[in-house]
Amino acid sequence: MGNTNQILCIRNIEIETLGSLGQYLLDDGYTITDILANKNAIRSQKLNQYDFVFILGGPMSVNDNYDFLVEEKKLIQSAIEHEVPVLGICLGSQLIASACGGLVYKGLRKEIGWGNVDITDSGLNSIFRDVPNRRMIAFHWHGDTFSLPNETEVLATSDLYIQAFRYKCAVGIQFHLEVDKQMIKNWSKCYQRELTADKISAESLLLDKDKKFSELRSLSKQVYTNFKNYLRN
C-alpha cells in the first residue's frame, strides 16, 4: 500500500470512468476521490493527500478553450514536480503530453475499435513488464495524437501513433485498457454521431469480442500492478 491509501481520479465526462482499474484499487484497499472535472474542484485538491492521480478520457480536445483543462495541466505539472505518480488515459494522456511540453494535434485519422499496439523495449521494462505478448490487441477511441519532448520514454506505439509514454513519474496511455462491454455500449450511444461519421457500427465493437475483453482485463491488471509497484522506482 501507499503512504495515504488515497487515490484522486478526475473524469472529464460522466461516462468515461476508471472501469476495471477502479475495482483493482478498491480490492487493494484504496479510497478513491472521484471528481468530475471543473476548475474549482481541481484547484481545491491537495496532492499530498494522494498516492496516485488518474486522469481519464473525454470527447474534448486538449486544445479546446475549457478552463478545467488548463487546471488539469497545472495539476499534472504540480504532481510531477512533487513526484506524485500520474496515469492518464486517452485525453488524460494528451493532457500529460501537453503539460510536459509536447504538442497535441489532430491525427491523420481516428483510431476507433480494436487494434494492435506494439510495446517498446522501454515499455517491456516498465509499465508493460510481464505482459505475455509484445504485440497486443487494445481498444481505441481517439482522434488526436501528440509529439513529445526528448526526455520522454515511448512505451508503446501503433502503426499510426504513439500509444504510451512515460515522463518522470507520469505515464500516458492513449488507448483504453479499462473498458468493459457496458462502457463501450454507453460510449456508442453517447458518441453515435462519431461512429456514424466514420461508418462504424456499435455492434462491430462488441460482437464476438469476449476473448478480446478477457485479454484486456488481464492486460489492465498487469499494467495496474506495474504502475502501482514500479513507478516510484
Helices marked H in 60-201 — which ranges?
67-81, 91-99, 121-124, 181-190, 192-197
pLDDT given for residue 229 in this prediction? 85
List, in order, residues 6 or more apart from 193 with CB less than 8 Å away: none
- Catalytic annotation on 140? no
CB 169 within 8 A of CB 231: yes
- Catalytic annotation on 83? no
- pTM of the predicted protein model: 0.96
DSSP structure string for 159-193: SSSEEEEEETTEEEE-SBSS--HHHHHHHHHHTHH
CB 51 within 8 A of CB 87: no
Residue 63 C-alpha cell reads as 486544445
- Catalytic annotation on 176? yes
Q: How far is 221 from 215, CA to CA, in rounded Å?
A: 10
Percent of the chain residues past pLDDT 70, beyond the cut? 97
> What size, in residues, is the chain?
233
pLDDT in tens, the chain (233 residues): 568 899 999 999 999 999 999 999 999 999 999 999 999 999 999 999 999 999 999 999 999 999 999 999 999 999 999 999 999 999 999 999 999 999 999 999 999 999 999 999 999 999 999 998 999 999 999 999 999 998 999 999 999 999 999 999 999 999 999 999 999 999 999 999 999 999 999 999 999 999 999 999 999 999 999 999 865 54
What does the pLDDT look like over 59-109, one tens digit per residue? 999 999 999 999 999 999 999 999 999 999 999 999 999 999 999 999 999
The SS3 of residue 108 is strand
Phi–psi pair at 179, nearest 5 degrees: -80, 155
Which residue segments constitute the domains of the chain, with CATH numbers given? 6-230 (3.40.50.880)
Q: How far is 202 from 200, CA to CA, in rounded Å?
A: 7
Active-site residue identified among 9, 16, 71, 90: 90
Q: How far is 191 from 202, CA to CA, in rounded Å?
A: 10
pLDDT given for residue 2 in this prediction? 63
